[in-house]
Amino acid sequence: MKPLSESVLDAIGETPLVDLKRLVEAWGLEGKIYAKLELLNPGFSMKDRIALKIIEEAEASGELKSGQTIVETTSGNTGTGLAIVCAVKGYPFVAVMSKGNTPERARMIRALGAEVVLVEQAPDSPPGQVSGEDLALVEEEAKRIIAERGAFYADQFNRMSNVHAHEEHTGAEIWDQTEGKVDAFLQFAGTGGSFAGCAKALKKRNPDIRCYLTEPAGAPYLAGGPITNPNHKIQGGGYAKDLPIVDKNLIDGFLAITDDEAIEGARALARFEGIFAGSSTGANIAGAAKLLRDKEKGNRIAILVCDSGLKYLSTDLYN
């Protein structure tokens, strides 16, 4: 057990890794799925890790000044992580979000003392389904606020701090927890930081580990496929845009997951394993199952449980 902590920031990371043997058996799969419970971070997502790393590295470099306002574009999880870090460290924080993201995320960020700016969706975007076009509108508003307030831009899509957090910690933890007995890693594409960081950490220790990137079936942009449904239901990623912090040499394959497959994956994880997670985790479960039925049959696959299902109660994910 950890000693007495100076703040909640000490509770970020070192999350459990769980063998999903009940789900694997129920689905008739051959192999192992190891799930890293990132929903047990203080902000209920893996993004707490990058929030802390971005701030720490910016402080160390002098780019972030004492008392300076911090601004970030977010679907909610990075915003929550930054709100927690800023509350402890004393920085004003502004989260800029699309109105298409679930309202419970904005409420949590406000409860943590941050300011939330909600941006209208693009005309063709259904509520609850955030597209790359919606994200572009959010980024435009964030840049306006940054210029107006002389703020520091956390900029998770472009900062290597995002990768460093997962390379130095998440991926290294997976290696240690499996004692190096892992054959593949799979992660849904958001900013790409968690994929890139974990893939770098694992491949550095064993270059033969295969690393797969998961995308929505209607927006397989990174795989070079046609964009038929940018308004998918898998929140927090699949924005059909370039991911500058991802080294493409780390990608051993792509998986395309439908909305229904992601929903069933999340529901099965709750039903068989008692793990209540969101839609991107559901996509990871569905992707891992596809691999165990095909090219990774009989092997051991590590995935991330990206965030908590509590952030999706206003959607149809668990209806």
Residue found by looking up tokens 């890293």 in the block: 36
Per-residue pLDDT of 249-289, as tens digits, reads: 999 999 999 999 999 999 999 999 999 999 999 999 999 99
SS3 25: helix
User: What is the reported pLDDT for 124?
Assistant: 82
Q: What are phi and psi of 238, to 5 degrees?
A: 65, 40
CA triple 201-18-187, angle to 5 deg: 45
Please tell me which residue in 279, 280, 290, 311 is annotated as part of the active site: 280
In whole angstroms, give the CA distance from residue 5 to residue 3: 6
Per the annotation, the verdict on 280 as an active-site residue is yes
Residues with Cβ within 8 Å of residue 253, at least 6 apart in sequence:
210, 212, 213, 295
pTM: 0.94
Q: How confident is the model at residue 38 (pLDDT cuts 50, 70, 90)?
A: very high
Alpha helices in 256-315, H assignment, sequence order: 259-273, 279-292
| pLDDT, mean over the chain | 96
CATH architecture of the domain with range 47-153? 3-Layer(aba) Sandwich (3.40)
Count of other CB atoms within 10 angstroms of residue 112:
20
User: What letter represents residue 169's amino acid?
Assistant: H
Q: What are phi and psi of 181, to 5 degrees?
A: -95, 70
- 313, 309, 307: which is closest to 80 by C-alpha? 307
What are the residue boundaries of the structural domains of the chain, listed by start? 8-45+163-312, 47-153
pLDDT average, residue stretch 56-79: 96
| Tokens read off for 249 | 């040499």
Residue found by looking up tokens 């995308």 in the block: 215
Q: Is the pLDDT of residue 183 over 80?
A: yes
216 vs 239: which has the higher pLDDT? 216
Domains 8-45+163-312 and 47-153 share a fold: yes
User: What is the reported pLDDT for 259?
Assistant: 96
CA R_g for the chain: 18
Alpha helices in the chain, H assignment, sequence order: 21-26, 47-61, 77-89, 103-111, 132-149, 161-165, 171-178, 193-205, 259-273, 279-292
Q: How confident is the model at residue 244 (pLDDT cuts 50, 70, 90)?
A: very high
Pairing state between β 152-153 and 253-257: unpaired
Please tell me which residue in 47, 200, 203, 311 is annotated as part of the active site: 47
Q: What is the CATH number of domain 8-45+163-312?
A: 3.40.50.1100
Query: What are 257's strand-pairing partners?
Result: 216
